[in-house]
A and B are shown apart, each in its own frame.
Chain A
Amino acid sequence: MISRLSAITLNTFREAVRDRVLYNLIVFALLMVGSAPLISTISIGLEKQFLMNLGLSAISLIGSMIAILVGVGLVSKEIEKKTLYTILSRPTRRWELILGKYLGLVMTLIVNTACMTAGFYLALGIVSRGLGRADALPLVAIYFIILQFMMLTAITLLFSSFSSTIFSAVFAFALFVIGTFADDLRNFADVAHGLARWLATGAAYIVPNFSALNVILQVVHNEPVSGSLIFYNTAYALLYSAAAISGAVLIFERRNLK
């Protein structure tokens, strides 16, 4: 089982690498290196904050786009191209395929984020003329961004398990946008009345709360992130991802692959 799971995971990673998914790193590197001298000239005294905001936001956005655009094809592309036929006719279980695909894309995103983080710190070092202990704080924001990728990949995979590539992308992107403003949805639920309150509260609990995972502004202003938030966000992201993956497995286990 472990051998099959790791084979599927590594193959998914290899597919992403060979399909040039990681080319985005070049764009990110150019953005960071190119913006560093520019920032120094246009934002006197705030260049570090500006760079941190730009860098962390870019890491989050680029990774989220990869999670959705690659994630939607993870299962649906295999069904459309019928590559699953030669996999499911082996001792492979359907859940192994879903979990292996998920882990493969998460692995791709982690490698991607690690490379972007290295580029980010290189640019930060150039702008700040060296790095201090306090510069470790953005790592918390990057850790939360990875948690966000894990949730987003699981959600995309859930849609991909029963829908076509295009619909999966639309659904996942819509949920990503709604989740980014989940706090606003909760605030609305607090002030709404009657049915609207019930619906907004229900929706606020169902949609992924990506806004809770966004601590970029806090980090930029050098405000510490509490240990309890790290713990709760970790538990939340793992549970939400597990629920979405379980849903994907339940649907896929019963699906006729025409």
Chain B
Amino acid sequence: MAALEIQGLSKSYPAGFWRKTLKPALLPLNLTVEEGETFGLLGPNGAGKTTTLKLLMGIIFPTAGSARILGRDFHDPEGRRHIGFLPEQPYFYDYLNAHELLDYYGNLSGLSREERRKRVPALLERVGLADAGRQQLRKFSKGMLQRVGVAQAILHDPKIVFLDEPMSGLDPVGRREIRALLQSLKDEGKTVIFSTHILSDAEALCDRVAIIHKGELRGIGVMADLKSQSADRSEAVWRGAQALGAVSGLLAESRVAGDIVRGVVAAGDVEALLDQLRQQRAALISLTPVQGALEDYFISRTTGKEAAAK
């Protein structure tokens, strides 16, 4: 059974003085996400990602179309027992502390008092807020609020978790923590669907990605395929600019900063490059596959000309 099936879901808002013209926010969207998948909704700001998630969560109503989440109509409130949701830049009742907030949400999700008593402290521990659990949320930093947000989304052990820009506005440490939390959800076999405009996050976590631009689905990419497309190039960084002359014929591109050289080499030439660097007594610092396939795919799907040729 598919975890999420969207059929022709669209949303338009009335615009103009008489509100008679309709401004589309999401053009008819068809999408299927399988159980256990980690799926990324990618697109620039205002692309329609948040609109899609708000429609699925019943926060706004569609102009047309339908969706099924875990086999149930997306309007069915009972179906939401198995759904977790983290909105973009979440705001919570700041007069509550994290413990009270999670207890409240647990109650709304149908957890018994006993279940809440066990799960809330365990979850605060999991998101690294065990010591701040009794502190009012108005004293929380943005990173802490985001962790509370993730905690409330997974509190009731949902089968499918939707997250809207989960890493947005976080510092590098905060982003890494949230990314680790998402990875752990993925490892538990949950279906994770998140929107982002940060491609490296999608690249690190997703099995598949959908590119949405100007309210339209522009393409769906399988990360494994995209990565294999870029596996034919590697980036080598070494110390020893004197070796550049001997290896320049192997490099697709190169950049020198003092004695450090960065060069991109085709997969078939890697061994030859390494041999030459050894001979020239250059010290290899790193050798990594070039990551950039998703970026290329994203740009090809969101720029006008390529999209028109699609």
B39-47, B82-90, B227-235 - interface stretch = B82-90
Closest to B57 in A: A89
Q: Does B152 contact A (CB under 8 A)?
A: yes
Could you give, for residues 78-89 of chain A, a 1 whenever the CB lies within 8 Å of some chain B CB and a 0 otherwise?
A: 000111111111
Question: What residues on B are CB-neighbors of A7 within 8 Å?
Answer: 104, 107-108
Task: Write the chain A residue with the least CB distance to B87.
Answer: A85
Chain A residues 1 to 49 lying within 8 A of chain B, measured CB to CB, are: 3-4, 7-8, 11, 14-15, 18-19
Task: Give residues of chain B (64-100) contacting chain A, Cβ–Cβ below 8 Å.
Answer: 77-78, 80-81, 83-87, 90-93, 95-96
Point out the residue from B60, B78, B85 that lies within 8 Å of A257, measured CB to CB: B60
Interface readout for B100-114 with A: 1 if CB under 8 Å, 0 if not? 000011011110000
- The answer to whether B78 and A19 have CB atoms under 8 Å apart is no
Are A15 and B90 in contact, CB atoms less than 8 angstroms apart? Answer: no
Binary contact readout A55-96 vs B (1 if CB under 8 angstroms, 0 otherwise): 000000000000000000000000001111111111111000
Q: Are A85 and B85 in contact (CB under 8 A)?
A: yes
Q: Is B61 in the interface zone, CB < 8 Å from A?
A: yes
Q: How far is the CA of A84 from the CA of B108 in the complex (A)?
A: 12
Q: B107 contacts which of A4, A14, A19 (Cβ < 8 Å)?
A: A4
The answer to whether A82 and B87 have CB atoms under 8 Å apart is: yes
The closest CB in chain A to the CB of B153 belongs to A86
Smallest CB separation, A75 vs chain B (Å):
14
* Given A81-B91, A83-B93, A257-B59, A89 and B104 contact (CB-CB distance below 8 Å): no
- Contact (Cβ within 8 A) A83 B108: no
A93 to B149, CA, bound (A): 21
Question: Could you tell me if A90 and B109 are in contact, using CB atoms closer than 8 angstroms?
Answer: yes
Tell me if A254 counts as interface (CB < 8 A to partner B).
yes
Is A256 located at the chain interface by the 8 A CB criterion? Answer: yes
CB distance from B291 to the nearest CB of A (A): 33
Q: Is there contact, CB below 8 Å, between B57 and A88?
A: yes
Q: Which residues of chain A have C-beta atoms less than 8 A from B110's C-beta?
A: 3-4, 91
Would B108 and A87 count as touching, CB distance under 8 A? yes
A-contact bits for B250-276, CB 8 A (1 contact / 0 none)? 000000000000000000000000000
- Given the complex of chains A and B, what is the CA–CA distance between A164 and B77 in angstroms? 27
Of B92, B93, B108, B149, the contact of A90 (CB 8 Å cutoff): B108
Task: State the CA gap A223–B91 with chains docked (Å).
Answer: 53
User: B90, A86: Cβ atoms under 8 Å?
Assistant: yes
A3 touches B107 (CB 8 A): yes
**Residue B58 lies at the interface, judged by CB distance under 8 Å to chain A:** yes
Contact A90 B80 (CB under 8 A): yes
Known A-B contacts A82-B90, A83-B92; A89 and B59 likewise in contact (beta carbons under 8 Å): yes
Question: Chain A: which residue is nearest B95 at the CB level?
Answer: A18
**Measured between alpha carbons, how far is A18 from B60 in the docked complex, in Å?**
31
Cβ contact within 8 Å between B108 and A92: yes
B158 → chain A closest CB, angstroms = 10
Whether, in the assembled complex, A258 has its beta carbon less than 8 Å from a beta carbon of chain B, the answer is: yes
Q: Across the interface, do A89 and B80 meet the contact criterion of CB distance under 8 Å? A: yes
Specify which chain A residues have a CB less than 8 angstroms from the CB of B96 in the assembled complex: 11, 14
The residue on A at minimum CB distance from B100 is A14
Question: Which listed residue (A4, A14, A84, A91) contacts B59, Cβ 8 A?
Answer: A84
- Residue pair A88, B58 in contact (C-beta under 8 Å): yes
179-193 of chain A: CB within 8 A of chain B: none
In the complex, what residue of chain B is closest to A254 when comparing beta carbons? B61
Q: Are A86 and B105 in contact (CB under 8 A)?
A: yes
Residue of A nearest to B107 (CB): A7
B residues 130-156 near A (Cβ < 8 Å) are 149, 152-153, 156
Task: Enumerate the 3 nearest inter-chain pairs by beta-carbon distance, A residue then B residue, closest first.
Answer: A89-B85, A18-B95, A7-B107
A–B Cβ pairs within 8 angstroms, 17 of them:
A4-B107, A7-B108, A14-B95, A15-B93, A18-B95, A83-B93, A84-B59, A85-B57, A89-B80, A89-B84, A91-B80, A91-B81, A91-B110, A93-B77, A256-B59, A256-B60, A258-B60
Residues of A within 8 A of B (CB): 3-4, 7-8, 11, 14-15, 18-19, 81-93, 254, 256-258
Residues in B lying within 8 Å of A, measured CB to CB: 54, 57-61, 77-78, 80-81, 83-87, 90-93, 95-96, 104-105, 107-110, 149, 152-153, 156, 162
